[in-house]
Structure 1
Amino acid sequence: MSTRALARFAANLNYEALPPAVIERARVHLLDGLGCLLAGTMGGPGRSAADMVAALCTQGGEATVFTGCTRGSPRDAAFVNAMTLYSVGLNDIHTESVSHPGGCIIPVVLATGEAGGAQGRDLLVAMIVGYEVMCRIGRAVMPSHRERGFHPTGTCGTFGAAAAASRMMGFGANETANALGIAGSQAAGLFEFHRDGALTMVFHAARAAQNGVEAALLTKTGLTGPCTVLEGERGFCRATSNAFDEAALTRNLGQPFEVEATSIRPHFGCSSTIAASSATAVLVKRLSVRSPDDIAEVVVRCHAVVARDNDEADPQTLLAARLSMPFNIALVLARGDVVTADLYDADLRDVRVKASLSKVRLVRDDAMPRFGCSVSIRLANGRNGEETILTPRGEASHPLTWNEVSDKFRRLTASVMHPEGVQPVIDAVRSLETNGVRVLAQRMLEGMRPVA
């Protein structure tokens, strides 16, 4: 049975048996996710989640809530930190499941690991487990799952978070299967946010993380869940997908690991816009573009899904802007390069960005890979250029290195951390097995600038 097989895998995975390259990829993704978490502490979604937790009078506990630098239960800390991390448009993505595992899994292992005083190796193994379960379930139900209106980060992320929390709490296979069964009644998230850029997209990762911790805690107190929750006649796969592949749940588990199949975004944007932003930046330099006024037209040849879903020419929210191809290209034109930072409302209203939105035109190209594109720029003086990127930097097949992600971390956190506080966090992740999770959380807190 698939649910029990995943539960056995989650409970029995051994740090010593993991290939060093897999541990290293998990470490790189952890650093990347922590950069997004820290950068997001200045944004609205994280503050909204932190304010809600405070209003419920549930502050105080064993885990750090980084927005506001307060304390909370592992459940509440996972919720706020996931909302904060996922709100930043630079977190990782698993393209086959079209989900964002870091936003759901990292806050869970950080909160439960800090609360329990876990060793660093325990966090890394639980993180690998969470990515594996979440992404395999996504593979099994896609693409029908999303076509029916579900958001895999919220739905599949709940299972991944439950698996990660179960591992952090030391569950055996039976307990883990039970927690997955409970998670099945919590897995939710509708893709309708894409219509107007509503922030429920960010909420989905937060609720997935929170529900994953909750499922494990409920298991500890005796609640039961169906141990056929994934493959059963009335289970998750059949309920949420018209055409699912049950074998994908367990086929060649860990060969390779799903964390190795997960991409890291090198700069701001959604996965559908990363290649176009990078190509535009290349052309800006090649054509010596000094101002957006130099541009007459930008044409983007892209996959049919991108041409359909990412063509918003006048986004009204920050999330809509992240998903908008015209906005991401106009942002590069206005700044002269790609942006490795979180964006705020002032960026959305930037007149230099808005002036270029109408100059961008998307053209469907059925030969283009899902996340590739070709960008052509025509200048007002008649000069033109074209740049094609079929596999963006940061894709699983073209991954960022530790040093590249460390540099991204520095740029992401420049506005929220003291300059002298950045390197100790990077070092704490690098030596996580030696120092443990509480030391990592403490280094993050010590490096943060005071909240104004």
Structure 2
Amino acid sequence: MSAADIETALAQLVAFTSGTEWADIPEPVQKRATLVLCDDIAAMVAARGEPEIVALHDGVAKSAGQPEATVFNARGQRFDRYSTALANGCAGDWAELDEGYRRVICHAGVYCLPALLAEAEAGRHCTQDLLHALVIGYETVARVARAFTFPNLVLHPHGSLAAVGAAAAVSALRRVPQDIAIGAISSAATMVLPGPYTHPIQGSLVRNVWPGISAQTGLRAVDWAAIGIRGLPSALHDVYTDAFGAAADAEQLSGGLGEAWAISDGYHKVFACCQYGHATIEATKKLLQQVPVERVAAIHLETHEKARIMDNPDPDTTIAAKFSIQHIAATAAVHGSGGAEAFSSNSLHIPEIMALRHKVSTSPYEPLPDWPNDRPTRVTWTLDDGSTLTEEVMSARGGPDLPFTPDEIRAKIHGIVDGPYPAMGAVVDELLDLESAALSRPWDETVRGMTGA
């Protein structure tokens, strides 16, 4: 697949997205957009108390410009749009509760929203225009993720994709001409971060800031494209294929436009860890209905490769815990769930969990089924009397094949935001119901309603 093929496909994609209005987007897709918006804002709020996030936000405040957009940390902080995009982007993935795209490795919502939220508030765009831009940005970055695939997990998508999503979404919100949108997306592709996938597994918290840095970058890419500073239209191929070694497929960029929307293939999370371990948690909860954890002598996981790569029996940070299959299996068994407490800093040092992590072994799940059952796990517990119990989950809930109900995600959002933001829940409900008054309201007024500012 040549660079010229990718260049042509990108032009076709941008021509389609530039000509798409909110009314052209089917209502189920519109509702999905509101769900992604509210769920990812809740994920930002969920990280507000993390000590590193508190310190990061306070550090950003020291150099931030004139306040024009809101940081969702329940502390009343407002920065310039670029600093706000950075602050919210760093919080968005911290708790591992943000939405993701199920077809390939891509968290498209958190790649678009930090920049979009800041730009929409600063520019007083209406909420409907924000949601329209989210659908467009999501479609663009998800298609880029599908168009360039890697033979193994070397690059983390938070670094290698987020700037492209931010640039595409902000271009849509500002309604820039097609050539500027192509230039901004291309520029953003040249400014992505080659973040190693090993970093979160080994406990590096720098992984959590990649979406924030990329949100700033995407905003700047649109600014600069408008004044003639643009990447080459072949930049997607130049970066992802020539520089990073991905296989390219132009059809994924431009094929079937309007037939199905990428945002409809997203997944939501109620477990605060990497989605690759969610089937393990679900199977573990089934086992706990049969015997108490005190009887477990050993745990064996037959699971997919993406889960087996998360091999770290002694995680020393919260991000390492969220990307440790041993911790996922052990903490779910001890806590009986996969909520925030199961992956807190305290969970790293609970003696029962520490001991159980070293009793976890893994092997390939064979034969591995096709999508959507491509992330299965079979959990076998060996008990204190030598007997075994096994439970299997072929596909964790939350994706398009086994979705949570809107009410379940609504309850998750309320559970996170109602304490720090008592007024936010009512605004969220209006948005999720697609109330016309809520959609036509300027986003800065919507934010004031959410935060009580």
Q: Please tell me whether residue 64 in structure 1 is matched to residue 70 in structure 2.
A: yes
Question: Which runs of no fewer than 5 residues in structure 1 stay unpaired?
Answer: 448-452
Out of 262, 268, 286, which is 2:266 matched to? 262
Q: How does 1:106-255 map to 2 (within 5 A)?
A: 106-144=113-151, 147=153, 149-191=154-196, 192-194=198-200, 196-231=202-237, 234-255=238-259
Asked whether the 8 Å contact 1:303–1:368 carries over to 2, the reply is yes
1:349 is aligned to 2:349: yes
Cα deviation for residue 382 of structure 1 reads 5.2
- 1:400 matched to which residue of 2? 404
Question: In the superposition, relative to structure 1, how do residues 184 and 422 fare at CA in structure 2: closer, same or farther (>3 Å)?
Answer: closer
User: What displacement does 1:372 show?
Assistant: 1.0
Other structure's SS at 1:273 match:
helix
Indicate which of 3, 9, 12 corresponds to 2:10: 3
Q: Deviations over 1:353-408 (max 9, x none)?
A: 22321222212223134311111223325564221111110012222221010111
The structure-2 alpha-carbon separation of the partners of 1:381 and 1:441, relative to structure 1 and needing over 3 Å to count, comes to: farther
Question: Aligned partner of 1:176: which letter?
Answer: A
For the residues of structure 2 that align with 1:80 and 1:109, how far apart are their CA atoms?
A: 13
Aligned-pair distance for 1:445?
Answer: 2.1
SS in 2 for 1:248: helix
Match of 1:450 in 2: none
Deviation at 1:198, TM superposition (A): 0.7
In the alignment, what sits opposite 1:385?
Answer: 389
Secondary structure of 2:101's partner?
A: coil
Which aligned pairs between 1:76-95 and structure 2 lie closer than 5 A?
76-95=83-102
> Once structures 1 and 2 are overlaid, which stretch shifts more, 159-168 or 393-402?
393-402
Aligned residues of 1:43 and 1:84 also touching (Cα < 8 A): no
Deviation at 1:311, TM superposition (A): 2.5
Q: Is the 8 A contact 2:101 2:267 kept in 1?
A: yes
1:342 deviation in Å?
A: 8.3
**DSSP 3-state at the match of 2:247:** coil
Work out the CA distance in 2 between the residues paired with 1:361 and 1:235.
38
Kindly indicate whether residue 331 of structure 2 is the aligned counterpart of residue 326 of structure 1.
no
Which stretch has the larger CA shift, 391-400 or 426-435? 426-435
Give the TM-score taking structure 2 as reference length: 0.90
Per-residue CA deviations over 1:14-39 (Å, capped at 9, x if unaligned) read 11011111111111111211110110
Conserved 8 A contact 1:178-1:226: yes
Cα separation, 1, equivalents of 2:255 and 2:33: 21
Q: State which drifts further: 336-345 or 432-441.
A: 336-345
Residue of structure 1 equivalent to 2:336: 336
Greater shift, 388-397 or 219-228, is seen at 219-228
- Give me the whole-angstrom Cα distance separating, in 1, the residues matched to 2:80 and 2:16: 27
Are 1:372 and 2:376 an aligned pair? Answer: yes
Residues 413-436 of structure 1 deviation map (CA, whole Å, 9 limit, x = unaligned): 46x525x43522422432441434
Q: Which residue of 2 aligns with 1:298?
A: 299
1:441 to 425, 440, 447: 447
Give the Å deviation of 1:160.
1.2
Aligned-pair distance for 1:216? Answer: 1.2
Whether 1:273 aligns to 2:280 is no
Instruction: Give SS of 1:272's match.
Output: helix
Contact 1:311 1:362 in 2 (8 A): no
Once the two structures are aligned, what percentage of the paired residues are identical? 23
Contact 1:304 1:366 in 2 (8 A): no
Supply the RMSD in Å over aligned alpha carbons: 2.2
Structure 2 residue matching 1:224: 3-state secondary structure? coil
- With over 3 angstroms needed to count, the CA separation of the structure-2 counterparts of 1:358 and 1:443, relative to structure 1, is farther
Equivalent in 417, 425, 434 of residue 420 of structure 2: 417
Contact 2:201 2:312 in 1 (8 A): no
Structure-2 residue corresponding to 1:311: 311
Equivalent AA in structure 2 for residue 444 of structure 1: M
Shift of residue 10, structure 1, vs aligned partner: 3.0
What is the one-letter code of the residue matched to 1:360? V
Distance 1:381 1:193 in 2: 39
Classify 1:261/1:185 alpha carbon distance in 2 versus 1 (closer, same or farther; 3 Å). same
Say whether 1:99 aligns with 2:100.
no
